[in-house]
Structure 1
Amino acid sequence: MSNSKVSNSGVAALLEKVMQELTADTLDDTLEKLRFFFPETLLLGALDLIDRDSVIVYNTPWGRSQYEVLGSTATYAVFPGLPSGGGHTLAYCTCPAYAYSVLLSETQLMCKHVLATLLARRLERCVERPIDADELASVIARQCSL
Structure 2
Amino acid sequence: MAVTLPAVVEELLSEMAAAVRESARIPDDHLLSLKFIFGSSAIQALDLVDRQSITLVSSPSGRRVYQVLGSSGKTYICLASCHYCSCPAFAFSVLRKSDSLLCKHLLAVYLSQIMGTCQQLSISDKQLTEILLTEEEQDHQYGMVISFWGLKSLLVAI
* 1:19 partner letter: L
Given candidates 117, 120, 124, the residue that maps to 2:112 is: 120
Task: State the identity %.
Answer: 34
What do you get for the CA RMSD once the two structures are aligned? 1.8
Q: Which has the higher contact order (CA 8 A, sep 6+)?
A: 1
Compare the two structures and name the one with the higher helix fraction: 2
Deviation, 1:112, is 0.1
- Contiguous gaps of at least 5 residues in structure 1: 1-8, 83-90
Q: Verify: 1:111 aligned to 2:103, yes or no.
A: yes
Looking at structure 1, the residues matched to 54 and 95 of structure 2 have their Cα atoms a distance apart, in angstroms, of 22
Looking at structure 1, the residues matched to 81 and 129 of structure 2 have their Cα atoms a distance apart, in angstroms, of 20
Deviation, 1:100, is 1.3
Q: Is the 8 A contact 2:35 2:43 kept in 1?
A: no
Number of aligned residue pairs: give it: 128
**TM superposition score normalised by structure 2:** 0.74
Deviation, 1:119, is 0.7
* 2:122 partner letter: P
Deviation, 1:103, is 1.4
Deviation, 1:59, is 1.5
**What secondary structure does 2:60 align onto?**
coil
Partner of 1:76: 76
Partner of 1:18: 12
Compare the two structures and name the one with the higher strand fraction: 1
- 1:14-53 mapped onto 2 (5 Å cutoff): 14-23=8-17, 24=20, 25=23, 26-28=25-27, 29-39=29-39, 41-53=40-52
Partner of 2:60: 61
- Contiguous gaps of at least 5 residues in structure 2: 139-158
Q: Is the 8 A contact 2:48 2:71 kept in 1?
A: no
* 1:48 partner letter: D
Looking at structure 1, the residues matched to 136 and 102 of structure 2 have their Cα atoms a distance apart, in angstroms, of 20
**What secondary structure does 1:145 align onto?**
helix
Runs of 4+ in structure 1 deviating by more than 2 angstroms, as ranges, are 23-26
**TM superposition score normalised by structure 1:** 0.79
Deviations 1:117-146 (A, max 9, x none): 111111111111111122212221222222
